[in-house]
Chains A and B, each alone.
Chain A
Amino acid sequence: MSTATAPEQTLAEAARAPMGAGERPVVVISATRGWTALRLGELWKYRELLYFLVWRDVKVRYKQTMLGAAWAVLQPLLTMMIFTLLFSKLAKVPSEGVPYPIFAYCALVPWTLFAFALGESGNSLVNSQHLVTKVYFSRLVIPIAPVLVGLVDFSIAFVLLLGMMVYYGVHPGIAIVTLPLFLLLAIATALGVGLWLSALNVEYRDVRHTIPFLTQFWLFASPIAYPSSAVPAKWRVLYGLNPIAGVVEGFRWALLGTHRPSVPMVLASSAVVALLIFSGLIYFRRVEKTFADVV
């Protein structure tokens, strides 16, 4: 028997000390009880493994596909075409003064990143059970890796977005410097939800079936096909509780020069994401110790 705190520190320090002249690392193994520490330091020690997992997924992703990396562009591009046809041509949805195709595509680029990361991350632990049951490493790298993999596709799709901006003659203003913040918000949202879903998925396979539905629902709950100005002003902050709303508004503002997203809405988005990640980390750590027994 031991206390809950002592092994945490030693684990984190010992996990991956370099070989060599230094002292031998010490690993203490015991049951952890109650609230476990988040051990984020340990995650840093496994950064090389994280790199290799991302590298593997990027390499393998388009093997044996005919179109290869073109898929990264095709997905948002085709969705944009359908949206243009349905929402712009048929339903006459307004697009805040920019051409509808670029209005939609600008939102679909971060959305595709988010949807990919969410789906892959949510299923990541279950799909990696052959690793989880055979070797120890910080399990956090598993749901994080797919989020980073999504960034590769994002970059490709983003280049096309820049091309479209040139084509439509849309010039971004100074607001473009805020773009990385909104990208970070998108990644953080995917990670927060991914942490929760991947851990839940281990014990409840219902999650696997929920993800496609959740993604679809989320798409329409976000201002992707329509501007958020379509939502009545008094609901705007509540609407901002969906962090993707903040992300999409931010992307459009930074790149297309549409109206500035309301500060309370972005703050609400950020607060929700921070809460998601923090609670996700805690939940992940709490159930992590039984992953290998349950998965």
Chain B
Amino acid sequence: MSALAIHAEGIGKLYYIGQRQTHRNLRDALTDTITAPVRALRARLSGAQRNGNSRGETFWALRNVSFDIEEGEIIGIIGRNGAGKSTLLKILSRITEPTEGRAVIHGRVGSLLEVGTGFHPELTGRENVFLNGAILGMSKGEIARKFDEIVAFSEVEKFIDTPVKHYSSGMYVRLAFAVAAYLETEVLFVDEVLSVGDGEFQKKCLNKMQGAGDEGRTVFLVSHNLTAIQRLCRKVFWLEHGNIVLSGTAKEVVGAYLSSASTAVTEQEWPDPDSAPGNEKVRLRSARVRPLERGTGDEINVRTPFAIEFEYWNLKPQARLNLSLVVYTEDGTMAFNTGPIGEPVWNGKPFPAGLFRSVCYVPGDLLNDGIHRLLLLVVENRSVVIYRREDVLTFEVKEDISMREGWYGDWPGATRPMLRWTTELVSPIAAEQQR
């Protein structure tokens, strides 16, 4: 049995709602300070807890998270948005303090919560390698030693003395990732960085990550990419509502995560515009997936045409909005991306402020069976994404045995379209022989 790399015990993080967005102004703070003794006295008299809030509601982004990780393990963290994955990473990499609990990490710690942290557009590739390396925690000598390897890995040798503002986004990401890939700390925290770069480069990065584990380094990986998680990690934690609900082998946990009924959210409503998700330009009121054929109940199967419906407030008069939807299959593959091109009434027109409803009609015989996740983008002027919500809906497309015609095996593919086929007998062989 190898030595312990990370020991975490009852980690919890309490947030004040709104704390992350609002900056209080000085006047509030002064009033707060002046009235503090009165409030403290009142609280003591009423026996209220010290942690009680005067600033509004609180919520626990994480609570009672405990685990032990051995040296050389690659651990995957999965869970839906808001489950606390990023908060856990931020606590372990010391970006923010836990409210309670304690963790002990053995070894030099590095964290990659984003690639290219601190890259400066005016500096050359070479300069940025040194700067970024220093920010990630490498020493000058260490970077100088690995410099040639980093550049070779990034495949941007020719442009290494060009300011990175002239780089294509692909080159930029490759260079940034190359620095990260050579961050050889004993414990490494990684957040979703695998979702960058082209397929070939991603594969290279996955291999590098795998190599880290083989060298006895500990990697802590958060990702939505379940394929990558399954490939890299022996052990996976499933986080939900700030708790680890399941931990075990990758196969076991990812399987349970995918089949958990609670992952399906086919309808969401936010009646109060002030607290609805969105921003100063647009806010969501509701989102739902519903079958277009009655009789099957609420069930959608591979044959059912269904509608994806959104109601949203446009808050900025004269905005030219359109929704854009991306449907993902359960392993994270994009099935399709769609927008209201050719929609007859509002497409391309300025929207007055008000409540709008957009419906996307998806034909039957298009999607494969399984869980599907929906990413919603609200786009202005056809080009600027003004709001984005991942996993806005999650729905299951059920199997319809009747259309399988006797084939009961796994039906692979991101989609399962029912396509028109023709078969004809061009010329029978028997006739030729007869001639």
Q: Is the CB of A135 within 8 A of B136?
A: yes
Q: Is the CB of A56 within 8 A of B108?
A: no
Which residues of the partner chain A approach B95 to less than 8 Å between Cβ atoms? Answer: 132-136, 292
Nearest CB to that of A126 among chain B residues? B23
Q: Is the CB of A293 within 8 A of B96?
A: yes
Shortest Cβ distance from A212 into chain B, in angstroms? 16
B45 interface residue per 8 A CB criterion: no
Selecting from A29-37, A113-121, A254-262, the interface stretch reads A29-37
Whether A289 touches B96, Cβ cut-off 8 Å, given contacts A134-B113, A135-B135, is yes
Which residues of the partner chain A approach B420 to less than 8 Å between Cβ atoms? Answer: none
Q: Is the CB of B139 within 8 A of A28?
A: no
Q: Which of A1-35 contact B (CB under 8 A)?
A: 1-2, 16-19, 24-32
Q: Is the CB of A2 within 8 A of B102?
A: yes
Q: Which of B237-278 contact A (CB under 8 A)?
A: none
Nearest CB to that of B61 among chain A residues? A293
B137 interface residue per 8 A CB criterion: yes
Q: Is the CB of B100 within 8 A of A1?
A: yes
Nearest CB to that of B121 among chain A residues? A60
Q: Is the CB of A206 within 8 A of B118?
A: no
Which residues of the partner chain A approach B25 to less than 8 Å between Cβ atoms? Answer: 204-206
A127 to B120, CA, bound (A): 13
Nearest CB to that of B12 among chain A residues? A31
A56 to B24, CA, bound (A): 32
Q: Is the CB of A292 within 8 A of B102?
A: no
Q: Which of B1-45 contact A (CB under 8 A)?
A: 15, 19-20, 23-26, 29
Which residues of the partner chain B approach A137 to less than 8 Å between Cβ atoms? Answer: 135, 137
Shortest Cβ distance from A106 into chain B, in angstroms? 34
Greatest chain B CB density within 10 A among A16, A132, A204 is at A204
Q: Which of A88-142 contact B (CB under 8 A)?
A: 130-137
B223 interface residue per 8 A CB criterion: no
Greatest chain B CB density within 10 A among A26, A49, A59 is at A49
Shortest Cβ distance from B230 into chain A, in angstroms? 27
Q: Is the CB of A30 within 8 A of B135?
A: no
Which residues of the partner chain A approach B102 to less than 8 Å between Cβ atoms? Answer: 1-2, 28-30
A31 to B12, CA, bound (A): 10
A102 to B398, CA, bound (A): 85
Which residues of the partner chain B approach A135 to less than 8 Å between Cβ atoms? Answer: 93, 95, 111, 113, 117-118, 135-137
Q: Which of A46-103 contact B (CB under 8 A)?
A: 48-49, 51-52, 55-56, 59-60, 63-64
Instruction: Flag B85-108 by CB within 8 Å of A: 1 or 0 each.
Output: 000001111111111111111111
B319 interface residue per 8 A CB criterion: no
Residues of B within 8 A of A (CB-CB), count: 48
Which residues of the partner chain B approach A134 to less than 8 Å between Cβ atoms? Answer: 95, 111, 113-114, 117
Nearest CB to that of A200 among chain B residues? B26
Q: Is the CB of A56 within 8 A of B97?
A: no
Instruction: Flag B116-142 by CB within 8 Å of A: 1 or 0 each.
Output: 011010110001001100111101101
Greatest chain B CB density within 10 A among A19, A131, A289 is at A19
Greatest chain B CB density within 10 A among A18, A28, A29 is at A29
Q: Is the CB of A25 within 8 A of B107?
A: yes
Q: Is the CB of B122 within 8 A of A292?
A: no
Which residues of the partner chain A approach B111 to less than 8 Å between Cβ atoms? Answer: 134-136
A178 interface residue per 8 A CB criterion: no
Whether A293 touches B105, Cβ cut-off 8 Å, given contacts A135-B117, A137-B135, A206-B25, is no
Whether A30 touches B24, Cβ cut-off 8 Å, given contacts A135-B113, A136-B93, is no
Shortest Cβ distance from B421 into chain A, in angstroms? 52
Which single member of B97, B100, B137 contacts A289 (CB below 8 Å)? Answer: B97
Q: Is the CB of A294 within 8 A of B117?
A: no
A290 interface residue per 8 A CB criterion: yes
Nearest CB to that of A32 among chain B residues? B97
Q: Is the CB of B140 within 8 A of A63?
A: no
Q: Is the CB of A24 within 8 A of B98?
A: no
Which single member of B98, B118, B123, B186 contacts A131 (CB below 8 Å)? Answer: B118
Nearest CB to that of A131 among chain B residues? B118
Q: Is the CB of A136 within 8 A of B94?
A: yes
Interchain residue pairs with CB less than 8 A apart (10) = A17-B108, A18-B139, A24-B108, A28-B105, A49-B134, A52-B130, A56-B127, A136-B94, A204-B26, A206-B26
Task: Give the interface of B toward A (CB within 8 A).
Answer: 15, 19-20, 23-26, 29, 90-109, 111, 113-114, 117-118, 120, 122-123, 127, 130-131, 134-137, 139-140, 142, 184, 186
Known: A19-B184, A25-B106, A56-B131. 5 other contacts (CB 8 A): A56-B127, A130-B118, A134-B114, A134-B117, A135-B117
